[in-house]
A = this chain, B = another copy of it.
């Protein structure tokens, strides 16, 4: 099981950290010892919206090699929505790869054409833009369309990460991780 966390200049740190924490606990809490993950970018260093420097593990790696590709949001999406090479890079949803986005990350999936036949969600303030790209935009916290999953804004990354833990390892494991995160309000709808 391999997970790629996509990072880029202008990512919101909490968008990434919220979905990263529960998923990495699958390994650090001993539920899935074979789990591997990489921070994947198209540049050798990344600076978050707030100025935090993150170092990618892999640059320009083929994302189709991963079971899950996670796309967080952040101000950097404004440029990336026009960046055809970036959009091609993340367009890897298939029978073997699930692409999951949250917040502005949903707009990247939309601009890449991945939501044309899908229901989707995003940050409430971005829903109006997502309507240009998705079959239907709904206000749910998480929308699971099989190999493409979208979630709400910023802190919805925590719910998305927990939801994926449930898909990967079952609800009992998801509950134990949620408890260890001291997270009281797991929300899917």
Contacts and interface: CB of A to CB of B under 8 A. Distances in A.
A103 B182 contact: yes
Number of copies: 2
Nearest to A50: B24
Contacts of A152: 182
Interface residues of A, number: 34
A49 interface: yes
Interface string A150-188: 001111101000000000000000000000111111010
Contacts of A14: 17-18, 20-21, 158, 181
A158 B158 CA distance: 11
A153 B124 contact: no
Q: Which of A20, A124, A125 has the most CB of B within 10 A?
A: A20
A102 to B, nearest CB: 9
A17 B13 contact: yes
Q: Which of A18, A24, A52, A185 has the most CB of B within 10 A?
A: A52
A98 interface: no
A123 B182 contact: yes
Contacts of A181: 14, 153-155
Given A13-B20, A155-B182, A155-B183, 8 more contacts: A13-B21, A14-B181, A21-B50, A53-B55, A54-B54, A153-B180, A153-B181, A155-B158
16 contacts: A14-B20, A14-B158, A16-B17, A17-B18, A20-B52, A28-B49, A28-B50, A53-B55, A54-B54, A125-B180, A153-B180, A153-B181, A154-B181, A154-B182, A154-B183, A156-B182
